[in-house]
Amino acid sequence: MATKLDNTVKAIKELVALFKIERTVYLTITLVSVLVLIVTAISLILRSDSQENTIAIMGLFGSTGGIVYSTGRLLKMWSEAMQLIQKVLEQNDR
């Protein structure tokens, strides 16, 4: 029982190591998107021209989409890893 769990944890660690670059890219996208969101919000507050407000609002929506997408991909990876552990634990309980 313990060896199956150890093997599963080892496999998950290997999978996480395989996708390290992908995780880094998604985290970078998230950080850049947050920075764009903050800069755009500050720009929107400081400038009140209607044309510039339109550009600022487009920046807010674009960066928010980047944050949502990259965060969703990170959470999906962790969810799949936890589901794999849960399957192994359920098999050990039988």
Q: What integer pLDDT is reported at residue 52 of this predicted model?
A: 64
The torsion region of residue 12 among left (phi > 0), alpha (psi -120 to 50) and beta comes to: alpha
> With contact defined as beta carbons under 8 Å apart, do 44 and 53 qualify?
yes
Q: What integer pLDDT is reported at residue 33 of this predicted model?
A: 81
Successive 10-residue mean pLDDT values, the chain, 94 residues: 74 79 85 81 70 70 79 82 76 67
> With contact defined as beta carbons under 8 Å apart, do 89 and 13 qualify?
no
Q: What integer pLDDT is reported at residue 84 of this predicted model?
A: 79
Q: What integer pLDDT is reported at residue 94 of this predicted model?
A: 63
Instruction: Report which DSSP code applies to 94.
Output: -
Domain positions in the chain are 21-93
d(CA 50, CA 71): 32
Q: What integer pLDDT is reported at residue 48 of this predicted model?
A: 63
